[in-house]
Amino acid sequence: MERVPPTSAQIRRWRRYLADERAEAAVYRDLASRRTGEERAILLALADAERRHEQHWLDLLGDDVGRPLRGDWRTRFLGFLARRFGSVFVLALAQRAEARSEYGDEADATPRMAADERIHEEVVRGLATRGRQRISGTFRAAVFGANDGLVSNLALVLGIGASGAAQHTVLLTGLAGLLAGALSMGAGEYVSVRSQRELLEASRPAQAAGDALASLDVDANELALVYRARGMDADAAQERADVVLSSLERYQAQQQVSGALLRTSVALPGGTPAPTADDEEAEAAPEVDEHEAIGTAWGAASASFCFFASGAIIPVLPYLFGASGLAAVAWSAGLVGLALLGTGSIVGLLSGTSPVRRALRQLAIGWGAAAATYLLGLAFGTSAA
């Protein structure tokens, strides 16, 4: 059957897809150049997959391939970031880029290509999750600290300024709020993270428990009580304990007795189902380190202190440079608004959601709180006059 010549619209669309596939493959290669081990191999495999998609469009275009086009501006910007940073933020952006694939509605793309793009999104999500895991504790403290500093000190400064207080009074109030808030945030984060790590440590199996397994009475099987205490029903706990004790020598040889024998994933509502009795690899699989996700107490406290102070200084800047009255209010609100847009977009990028929506949400919350205290200051200032 003779092939129907493509239309000019099809050729333009195919060439755009070709350019995007080439750009995406380059992004993954650039990311891989900044990684090692398994992550590097995964990223290079993604680049190979994009090359397969590239070949599909080359085959369709044939002699109409023409001069190479530049990829979508978002993909090119992603490549720029990948070459210079290669951070979790770039992976989060790549995750969003994969989610925007048009192949599901493209008649000239194969179903396999559309399926590939959906799977690529999950692969990149998994890689991004590793990075989020590594920075989540300190990042949480930094974001909360910066936003608290921006919003609380803007509200404080505008509330005092609206009451008619002198410029130096507003400035002193803002600086006092900065120092008091930063110290409070830092101390609070230290206590919070330290306490959470201690609670996690208290929940971990004791090292001596693994050593006691070899001396347990197999008939009484006290180990079953451990699994029942962790949420298993009696039959499942007994089965699990029987498997562990019957294979004790093998586990000891693998040096897994101290921790892995007593660790188990119990099925909870909405959680991960418990491993089956014959699933030996599940015991040896690497687990998520809760301590790494939380971060260190000093790291969280330092990040919270510094970022609160950096956020809280912004609404004070106009008063530091001598502004007063409505001009100072407008400058403070404007500067804080820009900062809130920035922090909101960063959170959106890292979480894989819309940065614009997160930025506008942050702005609405910050300005809403500041407006409330400003109106309160106006009311008190008017009544005092």
Contact call for residues 338 and 174 (beta carbons, < 8 A): no
> What would the 3-class secondary structure string for 79-115 be?
HHHHHHCCCHHHHHHHHHHHHCCCHHHCCCCCHHHHH
Residue type, 254: Q
* Residue 212, both tokens: 């006691």
pLDDT tens for the chain, 385 residues long, are 456 778 888 888 888 888 888 888 888 888 888 888 888 888 889 888 888 888 988 888 888 888 777 766 777 776 676 666 656 667 777 777 777 778 888 888 888 888 888 888 888 888 877 766 665 555 666 777 788 889 989 999 988 988 888 888 899 999 999 999 888 888 887 887 777 766 656 545 555 555 555 555 445 556 777 777 777 888 888 787 777 766 665 555 554 444 544 454 443 333 334 444 344 433 333 444 444 445 577 777 787 788 889 889 999 999 988 888 888 889 999 999 999 998 888 777 666 667 788 889 889 988 998 899 989 888 877 544 4
Task: Extract the tokens encoding 127.
Answer: 């890689």
Instruction: List the structure tokens of 18.
Output: 């070709």
Look up tokens 């086009």; give the residue. Answer: 69
> What is the gyration radius of the CA atoms in the chain, in angstroms?
29
Q: Of 346, 361, 311, which Cα lies nearest the Cα of 332? A: 311
Closest CA to 342 of 373, 309, 366: 366
Closest CA to 17 of 92, 114, 91: 114
CA pair distance 46, 53, nearest whole angstrom: 11
Prediction pTM value:
0.53
Cβ density class 178-189: b for 16+ within 10 Å, e for less = beebbeebbebb
Count Cα neighbours of 237 within 13 Å in the Cβ-side half-sphere. 15
Query: Any idea how long the chain is?
Result: 385
All domains of the chain in start order, with CATH: 8-133 (1.20.1260), 136-200+296-384 (no CATH), 203-292 (no CATH)
Distances (CA, A) of 268 to 164, 271, 273, 274: 57, 5, 7, 9
Reduced to 3 states, what is the DSSP secondary structure of residue 261? helix
